[in-house]
Amino acid sequence: MISYKVYYDYHEGTKAPIWIVLNVRNQIIDWDHKTLTIAVQAPFDMHPAEEFDQDAMNVTILIDDLLLTTSENVFGINLTNVEHRLNLHGVDRTEVDNFVIQVADLEDMLQFTL
């Protein structure tokens, strides 16, 4: 199971989630399956944005990479899109540490607030 953290920052004086970071470094991802499915459950433990590891091999998951599923609070990631971008930049998929998703993109897609 892929673990994740939610990073928060302050927006207009209140804590607001900004990123959900999926730790994929030591996970077996079936890239041939084309879709990675993730279940999310709010509320989350808060991690300040300052704790985010900018030196890790972080890959941004774009809103176009996100897929709706038929299960509640579950979303998919289009691995074909992600792998294509990695190849364009000469990055081997085994080097990736984290998938980084903007919470606003995920909320828009799932139509709920994290």
Query: CB-hemisphere CA count at 13 Å for 84?
Result: 8
Summarize pLDDT for 31-82 with one digit per residue, the tens: 999 999 998 887 777 899 999 999 999 999 999 999 999 888 889 999 999 9
Containing H/E element for 101? Answer: strand 98-102
- Tell me, what's the pLDDT at 112? 64
Is the pLDDT at 8 greater than 60, yes or no? yes
The residue ranges of every structural domain in the chain are 3-110
Confidence of residue 87 (pLDDT cuts 50, 70, 90): very high
The mean pLDDT of the chain is 91
- Tell me, what's the pLDDT at 4? 92
Q: Which of 37, 19, 18, 23 is nearest to 78 (CA)?
A: 37
Q: Which of 32, 22, 30 is nearest to 2 (CA)?
A: 22
